[in-house]
Amino acid sequence: MSYSSIARDGDLAQLVGLSHKHIILTLKAGGELQTHRGVIKHDNLIGSNWGTQVFSHTGAPFFLLQPSLADILNELPRTTQILYPKDIGYILVTMGIAPGQRVMEAGTGSGSVTIALATAVGEHGKVISYEQKPDVQNLARKNIERVGLTSRVEFKQRDIREGFDETDVDAFFLDVQHPQEYIPQVRAALKPGGFFSTIIPTATQAEKILPVLKKNLFAFVEVCEILLRYYKSDPTHFRPVDRMVAHTGYLLFARKIEPSDDPRGRELANEVSIQDNT
């Protein structure tokens, strides 16, 4: 994404109408956008300042904006359910994803988490993404290309039961069915102290993975869910909107630890393996 103050050829842009309905497009010299409110020529957008008002050939007004990461993720073409920005944001912060890191994910899906990770690690970081289904991976590749982050992502196609090529990565996000079956492989890929996270749809699965994490020496385990509630922004009718984004899954976080060779090491590791934040 461009960080210039003006819209340039090749940038992702967002056109927002007065009713807040929006369109995300890639600007191309000579291109045209056909809408039910008229035609907008890309050449009339390129070179304009972000945040300015533009008009279709029928005079319909739009604001020219740079889309946020949340806007992009919500508009991704998908064949699988994607994570919501409310979950992704908390995952990035809790796992400490930062520029220059090497991070991994398994279960690429449509690429929503991949895009968020690639944005966070910056141009000097790397995201390694494993996916078993070629059609799913191909769609993710297209989504990554659309936002211009291809150079930051390395795709691999494999059944992850076979393990991973990488070691000493900073963080690992796992989004697959039955995640408890792959914890040893994840541990082998992480650096000591590395961050692990997964999303689990049901309480039954959470109960299954917790003892596996303990057995494989993951500690400081936390499980939470993120609930998001919007409010009407009209100052004369300020109240919650009728719908909210409630439970989308349990988020689980843990750290890989290395007990001391001291006989007390494993005993102490077991004591810190499950964390209670109540």
Domain-embedded: residue 3: no
- H/E stretch holding 188: helix 183-189
In the chain, the largest separation of any two C-alpha atoms, in whole Å, equals 78
Q: What is the pLDDT of residues 13-26, one digit of tens each?
A: 999 988 778 899 99
**pLDDT on residue 260:** 72
Q: Which two tokens stand for residue 138?
A: 């191909």
Domain-embedded: residue 1: no
Whole-number Å distance between alpha carbons of 239 and 80:
33
| Parent domain of 58 | 12-67
Query: pTM for the whole thing?
Result: 0.86
Q: How many CB atoms lie within 10 A of CB 1?
A: 14
Pairing of β 190-200 and β 250-256: antiparallel
Domain-embedded: residue 278: no
Among 52, 67, 82, where does a domain finish? 67
Whole-number Å distance between alpha carbons of 46 and 52:
12
Q: What is the pLDDT of residues 39-94, one digit of tens each?
A: 999 999 999 999 999 999 999 999 999 999 999 888 887 777 778 899 999 999 99
Structurally, the chain folds into a number of domains equal to: 2
My answer on whether 92 and 128 are in the same domain is yes
Contact 114, 91 (CB under 8 A): no
Domain-embedded: residue 23: yes
My answer on whether 111 and 171 are in the same domain is yes
Q: Residue 139 pLDDT > 90, yes or no?
A: yes
Among 67, 85, 113, where does a domain finish? 67
Residue 152: CB partners within 8 Å, gap ≥ 6?
Answer: 118, 121, 122, 123, 125, 126, 127
My answer on whether 198 and 144 are in the same domain is yes
Contact 1, 147 (CB under 8 A): yes
**pLDDT on residue 16:** 93
Q: Residue 264 pLDDT > 90, yes or no?
A: no
Residues in the chain: 278
Q: What is the pLDDT of residues 89-135, one digit of tens each?
A: 999 999 999 999 999 999 999 999 999 999 999 999 999 999 999 99
Eight-class DSSP state of 67? P
Whole-number Å distance between alpha carbons of 148 and 50:
19
Percentage of the chain lying above the pLDDT 70 cut: 92
Among 23, 44, 67, where does a domain finish? 67
Domain-embedded: residue 18: yes
My answer on whether 60 and 92 are in the same domain is no
Domain-embedded: residue 2: no
Question: How far are the Cα atoms of 38, 45, 223, 250 from residue 207, in angstroms, in the given order?
Answer: 54, 53, 11, 11
My answer on whether 36 and 169 are in the same domain is no
My answer on whether 25 and 153 are in the same domain is no
